[in-house]
């Protein structure tokens, strides 16, 4: 009878490190994040909720799946898809949030589209010029593109170069608790001071402020939302 040597704990640990180095936790987490949207309907998506009514809808479409928010041109108010996950400097330190592979229909009339982080799932559009729900956002109206910050008593917006929505784009917001930056496809577009602490959450929004245009629906689609430490 041949007795095999029982490996020590140290030997087992060394073997594990050598054989599982190609599947680090970060990569597994990334795969899980991708798969979290690979479901049949919006109601099955974890940690995302809709604030819609009338002829507006939140859905999960395409392959690979994408979040979609759509509203009819005849209806107003602000509609959004918002995450339950808090995305705050207080918890994360300096971070960036990227809305990847974003597409949107052309914005007509007095209508708005925006993505960013905001305080709560109520109230008006993510950009509020006179103050309201704390927020940091990229948004577009029928004429221009903007980077904006909102505090409880004030709002600031800076016009940026128009984005060509004939193709999809990555929209990134970086925030270190003092200054917020907007990057489009990795290129810095604007920087604004912002230090208001709040329970921020990722949000995708459309609002109507007047008559619609040629298209029956305004639609925005997002491929992924990724949060990373700076």
Q: What is the pLDDT of residues 80-129, one digit of tens each?
A: 999 989 999 999 999 999 999 999 886 665 678 999 999 876 678 888 87
Asked whether residue 173 is domain-assigned, the answer is yes
pLDDT digits (tens, 9 = 90+) for 16-31: 555 544 444 455 555 5
- 3-state SS of the chain: helix, strand, coil percent to 5? 15, 45, 45
- Residue 192 clears pLDDT 70, i.e. is over it: yes
| Across 5-9, 59-63, 194-198, least confident range | 5-9
Asked whether residue 37 is domain-assigned, the answer is no
Asked whether residue 167 is domain-assigned, the answer is yes
Question: Could you please report the per-residue DSSP string of 153-178?
Answer: S-EEEEEEPPP-TTS-EEEEEEE-SS
Do residues 224 and 188 lie in contact, with contact meaning Cβ atoms separated by under 8 Å? no
Do residues 37 and 17 lie in contact, with contact meaning Cβ atoms separated by under 8 Å? no
The pLDDT value given to residue 21: 44
Residue 65 burial (10 A CB sphere; 0-12, 13-18, 19+): buried
Asked whether residue 156 is domain-assigned, the answer is yes
Give the count of domains, the chain: 1
Asked whether residue 212 is domain-assigned, the answer is yes
Do residues 150 and 230 lie in contact, with contact meaning Cβ atoms separated by under 8 Å? no
| Across 120-124, 166-170, 197-201, least confident range | 120-124
Q: What is the largest CA-CA distance in the chain?
A: 88
Residue 156 burial (10 A CB sphere; 0-12, 13-18, 19+): middle
Cβ neighbours, 10 Å, residue 205: 26
Distance CA 45, CA 38 (A): 8
The pLDDT value given to residue 168: 95
Asked whether residue 5 is domain-assigned, the answer is no
C-alpha closest to that of 178 among 167, 189, 193 = 193
Domain that holds residue 150: 47-229
pLDDT digits (tens, 9 = 90+) for 48-66: 988 877 677 889 898 888 9
Contacts of 8 (CB under 8 A, 6+ apart): none
Asked whether residue 132 is domain-assigned, the answer is yes
Give SS3 for 9.
helix
Asked whether residue 36 is domain-assigned, the answer is no
Return the CATH number at 133.
Answer: 2.60.120.200
């Amino acid at each position: 009878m041949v007795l095999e040597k029982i490996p020590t704990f140290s030997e087992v640990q060394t073997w594990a490190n050598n054989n599982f180095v190609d599947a680090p936790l970060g990569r597994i987490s990334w795969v899980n994040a991708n798969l979290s949207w690979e479901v049949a309907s919006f109601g099955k998506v974890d940690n995302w909720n809709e604030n819609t009514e009338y002829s507006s809808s939140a859905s999960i479409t395409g392959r690979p799946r994408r979040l979609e928010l759509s509203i009819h041109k005849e209806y107003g108010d602000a509609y959004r898809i918002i995450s339950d996950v808090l995305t705050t400097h207080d918890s994360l330190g300096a971070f960036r949030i990227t809305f990847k592979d974003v597409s949107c229909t052309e914005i007509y009339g007095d209508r708005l589209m925006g993505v960013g982080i905001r305080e709560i799932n109520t109230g008006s559009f993510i950009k509020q010029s006179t103050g309201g729900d704390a927020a940091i956002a990229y948004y577009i109206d029928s004429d221009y593109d903007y980077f904006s910050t909102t505090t409880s008593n004030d709002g600031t917006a800076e016009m940026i170069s128009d984005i060509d929505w004939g193709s999809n784009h990555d929209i990134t917001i970086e925030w270190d608790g003092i200054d917020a930056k907007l990057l489009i496809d990795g290129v810095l577009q604007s920087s604004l001071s912002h230090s208001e602490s709040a329970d921020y959450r990722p949000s995708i929004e459309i609002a109507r402020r007047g008559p619609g245009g040629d298209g029956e629906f305004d639609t925005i689609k997002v491929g992924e939302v990724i949060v990373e430490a700076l």
